[in-house]
Homo-oligomer: A and B are copies of this chain.
Amino acid sequence: MNDSPDTCAEAVLEIVPLVMRAIRGEMRRQRTPDLSVPQFRTLAFLRQQPGASLSEVAGHIGLTLPSMSKLIDGLVARRLVTRQAAPGDRRRVTLELTGAGQAAFDTARTATRTYLARRLATLPAADRASVVQAMQLLRSSFTAAHELVAGEPLPPAGEEAAVGA
């Protein structure tokens, strides 16, 4: 009853956007000279994957190559990212955070995490443990190998109730 895929999807569809708005709002308040959310996500990716190519970053963030190229233009202009030709294949670019780029990311992210922690501090510890566990479960569902790209078949589909629900 409370564990059907549809019930779970309903709950996720209601709550995740709510929490996401809190995250985005806080990041907007904290981020440095007007860093957009995709730019911030790019910093986050390069923090974990230094030396990534433009295609790799674009694929991860979900932008086209031209769009990501322009986004990187802005980060390079602010001296948050370096862009160099890759040794061994001069077609590729190697992207890395500068010290300022690392600081910009760490500062905003820490502030946002602190904000969330203050929100979550209203819960009993046991409930927070439940939330942590659920996040791990969601990660396994949404990073699974079956990369869900448009049109690609996924696990067995449930009823596709349609219009006029």
Contacts and interface: CB of A to CB of B under 8 A. Distances in A.
Given A137-B127, A150-B29, A117 B6 contact: yes
Interface in A38-88: 41, 62
B22 A128 contact: no
Contact of A41 (B3, B17, B136): B17
Interface residues of A, number: 81
Tell me how many chains of this kind the complex includes. 2
Given A15-B164, A112-B13, A137-B131, A158 B5 contact: no
Contact of A18 (B2, B146, B156, B164): B164
Nearest to A13: B113
B143 A2 contact: no
A144 to B, nearest CB: 6
B121 A12 contact: no
Contacts of A111: 160
A16 to B, nearest CB: 5
B117 A8 contact: yes
A9 B157 contact: no
Contacts of A117: 4-6, 8-9, 158
